């Protein structure tokens, strides 16, 4: 029986003029990104350790790990968010249609109970939609809807629990419900509750705290995705959103209307707007400590705001700033630095002072060939790794703690692979693959860092065959061409055949 040995993953899908969003696992060195209808989970320390989730019916756009790292929320161009387990059979826990168009960004609340999503509403306005009752966090706290305080909803759990329901302004304590264990044995317990006069017997939203008897299992309730805010205030597509990682909770959004909106809640309500940018506001991110958040824009600016009040407090220095649109930003774990990437083909690290000003620390040495594909469109600060992604899909890893350490880069395909050939090159096993966009990639088995092959034409290759020093290709341009292989690229050697069919 065949055994899977290695996985050579695709790179993130990119689009010129748009940033891409990646996320990191809070418990490991894994990152997550999207390509086609798939969601890719990849470890930075072992890039061949790859997991692929392909259950979306439409092209995926963004994916995020839950705060406890056990669940993943992923979204697509149809406006659907799927919540699924990271491990095991990746069981689907829930699916929500939250927007009528593409979802561009989403974010978990720090307690793992809410998600905010933003994108294109396909109407007169773009909007965000927040919903609760998604997944319990490590403390097993969860939102759910209960028809009446005495109805346990037919729960069947193999653990004992105590439910504390906060219903509007009433406190209802329901203890020791009749619960069956996994063997079907009924565990009868006395039922008691206390209710204030203001209790409304209608359906109510509450919190469930589960006390686990043996601490071996956790349980959670799942509701239908209760809406806790639809945020008007944007007139065009909402490109990015973020949840404040500390209490009191806040949500910020930004988009193509040059506006930043600030909301307080839950339930989340509009607080105020900022119009400091003069072009698309591409990304907004809270610092890990929640004290600040930053926006970056196609006007080449980065602006820092107070995390609690939403007031502007500073900007990134323009003297050594980016020369093109800034597409993405990511904070350092200590909330004292940010990483930005731009259409000027550079990635920069900035020091953020307590007063909110940003001073350039260094410019990263990302590999460059001088072409349009070197535009930097995505970034992530994950532990000691500074991750950047170019328009061509190249992933570059730099060290955050060792500026002198040479960067590591690896590439791959964005489109479906349509041909593969294996051969010996200088006594070493080598693989060549080509995709529908005409890209050739060279792989060395056991080494994940694939390299794109430079060609004078970028026509789609239909099939090819390789030997020690030569590569024969045939394409949809009705040509068969021979190439001489070198370690870095293929240099056209001989034109063999041309025909017009």
CATH architecture of 417-498: Beta Barrel (2.40)
What was the pLDDT predicted at 460?
78
Quick one: pLDDT at residue 226?
A: 64
Q: How far apart are CA 228 and CA 131, in angstroms?
A: 6
* Distances 265 to 45, 251, 308, 492 between C-alpha atoms, Å: 38, 8, 12, 62
For residue 196, what pLDDT is reported?
32
d(CA 58, CA 110): 28
Structure confidence at residue 326 (pLDDT): 99
The residues, ordered by sequence, that sit 6+ positions from 409 with a Cβ below 8 Å of its Cβ are 366, 367, 394, 395, 396, 397, 449
Q: What is the pLDDT of residue 24?
A: 98
Q: What does the block give as tokens for 453? A: 């092959």
Q: Is the pTM above the cut of 0.85?
A: no
pLDDT per residue, tens digit, the chain (501 aa), is 788 888 899 999 999 999 999 999 999 999 999 999 999 999 999 988 999 999 999 999 999 999 999 999 999 999 999 999 999 999 999 999 989 899 999 999 999 989 999 999 764 334 455 655 544 333 333 333 333 333 333 333 333 233 333 322 223 333 333 333 333 333 333 333 333 333 333 322 222 222 222 222 222 233 445 666 667 788 999 999 999 999 999 999 999 999 999 999 888 889 999 999 999 999 999 999 999 999 999 999 999 999 999 999 999 999 999 999 999 999 999 999 999 999 999 999 999 999 999 999 999 988 877 789 999 999 999 999 999 999 999 999 999 999 889 999 888 999 999 888 888 877 788 888 989 888 888 888 877 667 787 665 667 787 888 776 777 888 877 888 777 765 444 444 333 333 333
Sheet containing strand 428-435, strands side by side: 417-425, 428-435, 440-444, 447-453
The CATH fold assigned to 23-132+225-410 is Methylamine Dehydrogenase; Chain H (2.130.10)
Query: Where do the structural domains in the chain lie, given as residue ranges?
Result: 23-132+225-410, 141-209, 417-498
């Amino acid at each position: 029986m065949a055994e899977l040995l290695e996985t050579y993953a695709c790179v993130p899908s990119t689009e010129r003029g748009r940033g891409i969003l990646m996320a990191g696992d809070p418990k490991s060195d894994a990152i997550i990104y999207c390509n086609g209808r798939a969601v890719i989970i990849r470890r930075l320390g072992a890039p061949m350790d790859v997991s692929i989730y392909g259950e979306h019916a439409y092209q995926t756009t963004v994916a995020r790990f839950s705060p406890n790292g056990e669940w993943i929320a992923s979204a697509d161009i149809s406006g659907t968010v799927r919540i699924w387990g990271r491990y095991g059979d990746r069981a689907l826990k829930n699916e929500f249609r939250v927007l009528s168009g593409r979802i561009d960004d989403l974010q978990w609340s720090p307690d793992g109970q809410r998600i905010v999503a933003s994108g294109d509403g396909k109407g007169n306005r773009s909007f965000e939609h927040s919903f609760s009752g998604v997944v319990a966090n490590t403390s097993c706290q969860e939102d759910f809807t209960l028809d009446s305080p005495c109805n346990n909803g037919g729960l069947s759990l193999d653990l004992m629990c105590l439910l504390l329901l906060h219903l509007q302004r009433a406190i209802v304590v329901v203890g020791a419900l009749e619960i069956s264990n996994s063997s079907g044995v009924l565990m009868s317990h006395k039922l008691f509750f206390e209710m204030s006069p203001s209790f409304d017997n209608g359906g109510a939203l509450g919190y469930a705290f589960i006390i686990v008897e043996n601490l071996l299992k956790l349980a959670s309730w799942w509701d239908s995705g209760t809406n806790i805010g639809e945020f008007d205030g944007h007139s065009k597509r909402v490109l990015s959103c973020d949840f404040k990682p500390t209490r009191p909770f806040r949500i910020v959004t930004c988009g193509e209307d040059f506006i930043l909106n600030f909301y307080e809640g839950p339930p989340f309500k509009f607080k105020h707007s900022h119009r400091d940018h003069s072009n698309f506001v591409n990304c907004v991110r809270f610092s890990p400590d929640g004290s600040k958040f930053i926006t970056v824009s196609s006007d080449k600016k980065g602006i820092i705001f107070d995390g609690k009040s939403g007031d502007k407090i500073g900007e990134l220095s323009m003297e050594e700033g980016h020369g093109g649109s800034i597409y993405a930003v990511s904070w350092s774990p200590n909330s004292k630095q940010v990483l930005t990437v731009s259409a000027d083909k550079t990635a920069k690290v900035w020091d953020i002072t307590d007063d909110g000003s940003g001073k350039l620390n260094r410019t990263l040495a990302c590999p460059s060939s001088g072409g349009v594909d070197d535009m930097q469109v995505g970034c992530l600060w994950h532990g000691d790794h500074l991750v950047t992604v170019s328009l061509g899909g190249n992933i570059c890893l730099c060290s955050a703690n060792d500026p002198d350490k040479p960067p590591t880069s690896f590439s791959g395909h964005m489109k479906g692979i349509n041909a593969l050939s294996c051969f010996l090159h200088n006594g070493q096993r080598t693989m060549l693959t080509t995709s529908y966009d005409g890209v050739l990639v060279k792989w060395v088995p056991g080494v994940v860092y694939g390299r794109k092959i430079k060609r004078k034409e970028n026509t789609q290759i239909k099939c090819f065959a390789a030997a020690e020093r030569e590569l024969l290709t045939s394409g949809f341009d009705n040509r068969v061409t021979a190439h001489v292989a070198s370690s870095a690229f293929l240099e056209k050697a001989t034109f063999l055949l041309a025909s017009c069919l």
